[in-house]
């Protein structure tokens, strides 16, 4: 039985709170807080995942209107016990060099690129939490044979939950949260020679 390093011991009996994440210099990058529990990204991210997030970041930055910032790998403080870190988010909050988290009311869109170990959290747990926090738009991107498939969700105000707003392959066109057109297959390189056109 390995002893836990000191930084992994919660600072109080009732566990972790959102602000504790900023006081954990030893924690691995991409540490999230879900229901008061620390969640670490344990396995290395695949190259495809990083390329896709970069491609998406560049494409969205090019299309975002004035007053909308694109951020990758930043946490959102949903409540005292939840501070997930989506792969990408669009926010109306002004850029601040020392910022470490966003308030959900300033977040227009959250994008999670599903990796094998995050699949359950991205498709169920986070889907519900982002909706409960009132974030209007959520994209969950799946890898289908190295081609990204985007599952788009929009907050349904009366029910307070996400309504599926389409599944996009090859091309994505949206008018919300602003006019977005993406050539999905160009966002991440496929396998060499796996797709003949």
Rounded to 5°, angle at Cα 54 from 49 and 63 = 130
Distance of CA 65 to the CA centre of its chain: 20
pTM of this structure: 0.90
Q: Which tokens sit at 103?
A: 């308030």
Which helix (H) or strand (E) segment holds residue 72: the answer is strand 69-72
CATH of residue 88: 3.90.1570.10
Residue 197 has pLDDT above 70, yes or no: no
pLDDT higher at 86 or 197: 86
Q: Is residue 171 part of a domain?
A: yes
DSSP H helical segments within the chain, as ranges? 47-63, 119-120, 126-132
Structural domain boundaries, residue 66: 15-186
Classify residue 193: in a domain, yes or no: no
Domain membership flag for residue 196:
no
The answer as to whether 6 is a domain residue is no
Distance separating alpha carbons of residues 48 and 184, to the nearest angstrom: 13
Domain count, the chain: 1
pLDDT tens-digit profile of 148-186? 999 999 999 999 999 999 999 999 999 999 999 999 999
pLDDT of 7 reads: 82
Is residue 127 domain-resident?
Answer: yes
Q: How far apart are CA 71 and CA 12, in angstroms?
A: 31
Do 151 and 140 form a contact (C-beta atoms < 8 A)? yes
């Amino acid at each position: 039985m390995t002893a836990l390093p000191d930084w992994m011991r919660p600072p109080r009996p009732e566990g972790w709170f959102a602000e504790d994440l900023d006081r954990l210099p030893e924690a691995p990058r991409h540490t999230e807080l879900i229901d008061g529990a620390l969640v670490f990204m344990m396995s290395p991210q695949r190259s495809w995942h990083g390329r896709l997030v970069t491609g998406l970041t560049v494409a969205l930055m090019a299309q975002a209107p004035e007053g909308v910032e694109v951020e990758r790998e930043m946490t959102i403080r949903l409540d005292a016990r939840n501070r997930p870190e989506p792969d990408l988010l669009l926010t109306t909050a002004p850029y601040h060099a020392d910022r470490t988290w966003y308030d959900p009311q300033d977040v227009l869109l959250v994008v999670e690129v599903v990796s094998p170990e995050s699949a359950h959290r991205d498709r169920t747990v986070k889907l519900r939490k982002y909706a409960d926090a009132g974030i209007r738009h959520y994209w969950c991107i799946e890898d289908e044979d190295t081609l990204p498939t985007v599952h788009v969700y929009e907050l349904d105000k009366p029910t307070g939950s996400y309504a599926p707003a389409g599944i996009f392959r090859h091309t994505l066109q949206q008018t919300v949260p602003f006019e977005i057109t993406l050539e999905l297959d160009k966002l991440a390189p496929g396998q060499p020679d796996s797709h003949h056109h």
